[in-house]
Structure 1
Amino acid sequence: MITIYHNPRCSKSREGLQFLELEGKPFTTVKYLNEPLTKEELTTLIKKLGIAPIELVRTKEKIWISDYKGEELTDSEVIEAMLQHPNLIERPIVVNGDKAVVARPAEKIKDIL
């Protein structure tokens, strides 16, 4: 099953959702700002993406700049920051089985279909 972690306010996230709709494959939408991820879910996503936690952070967000920029954070601390402030999580994330991509641009979704 394909899942998109989506923020309706984000244009890139809406593009990813539209891409999936046009593909015509069934998928589930998780509005992760309304349905916060657990630590286990976020850690699993990061593993599927094959990236370091810091690579999933939106480092231009005000909360990152004010509270975390310039800090030497462990992977666990970065994950905790994303759990505390879900708007720090890059979007959209699309998962298909054991594969995942940050769909920026939306065409990256093709890589996991």
Structure 2
Amino acid sequence: MQIYHYDPETGALIGTGTAEANPMEPGQFLVPAYATTVAPPELGEGEYPYFKAGVWETGSQPDEVPEEEKNPAPRHRYIDGEKISETTRAALEHAQSVEELRDVMATILLGRE
């Protein structure tokens, strides 16, 4: 099954692919986030497809953004130049919160600074 990948922020078409069969549901296919099975429309001169609110629209072609200026995907963050997942980021924040809570409780219960 043909799928069409689009930019999560702008909706601009960024490529095509083939959906994988769903091993849990024969005859069904897995469509990843920011992809659709809806084919873009025929385009006129200078038009470019954008997927917005479940339908394709046309507009001018997006400007090319240099690789070094692109932001990491919303589900990833960087620590010391290394990409981490949202789950890892949340776990690090939780650990920091637990450590802060421990310090506050020690101060309250033991009168320590």
Tell me if both proteins adopt one fold, taking TM over 0.5 as the criterion.
no
Give the number of the structure whose residues are more often strand, by fraction: 2
Give the number of the structure whose residues are more often helix, by fraction: 1
Could you say which structure has the larger radius of gyration?
Answer: 2
Q: What's the TM-score once normalised by structure 1's chain length?
A: 0.22
Q: Which has the higher contact order (CA 8 A, sep 6+)?
A: 1
Q: What's the TM-score once normalised by structure 2's chain length?
A: 0.22
